[in-house]
Amino acid sequence: EPSPTFRHFTLNFTLTNLPYTADLEIPSTRRFISTEKVINYYLDPLFKRSSISPVYTGCRVMRFRSMKDRDNTGLDAVCSYKNDSRIATFDREKVYQELSNMTKGVTKLGQYSLEKNSLYVNG
């Protein structure tokens, strides 16, 4: 049995109630690390309830971006899953739809408010 390979997809969305600050630019800062932890705390359960649940292995925030004069913060993450027979193909439309439903139409992620049309799932 060959060991499963990992596949990645990008996830992007905008948080409208997280003001952007310069320390979110640097992955080693306390603010970056704590914000990423909170994001993952909310994201992981969503993926664990999604169609890719059996193969999902986690997301990493790659960067936070300043949006709309620093009032909003954009987020770029890379998520990974094991490529195995339990999931025929990664269906980004389906995953997008599931995330959209679970975030109340891309408006809410835990304590965060999301910009409605900001979610992108790219396989």
Mean pLDDT over each residue of the chain, to the nearest integer: 93
pLDDT in tens, 71-85: 999 999 999 999 877
Give the pLDDT score at 68: 82
Q: Which residues fall within 8 angstroms of residue 16, CB to CB, at 6 or more apart?
A: 71, 72, 112, 113, 114, 115
Asked if the model's pLDDT at residue 1 lies above 80, the reply is no
Q: Report pTM.
A: 0.91
Query: Residue for token digits 């600050």?
Result: 21
Say how far residue 96 (Cα) sits from the centre of its chain: 11
Fold of 6-122: Alpha-Beta Plaits (3.30.70)
Asked if the model's pLDDT at residue 123 lies above 70, the reply is no
Question: CB atoms < 10 A from the CB of 72, how many?
Answer: 20
pLDDT in tens, 75-113: 999 999 998 776 667 899 999 999 999 999 999 999 999
What is the residue extent of each domain of the chain? Answer: 6-122
For residues 96 and 106, give the distance between their C-alpha atoms in angstroms, rounded to a whole number. 10
Asked if the model's pLDDT at residue 2 lies above 80, the reply is no
Over residues 58-79, the mean pLDDT reads 94
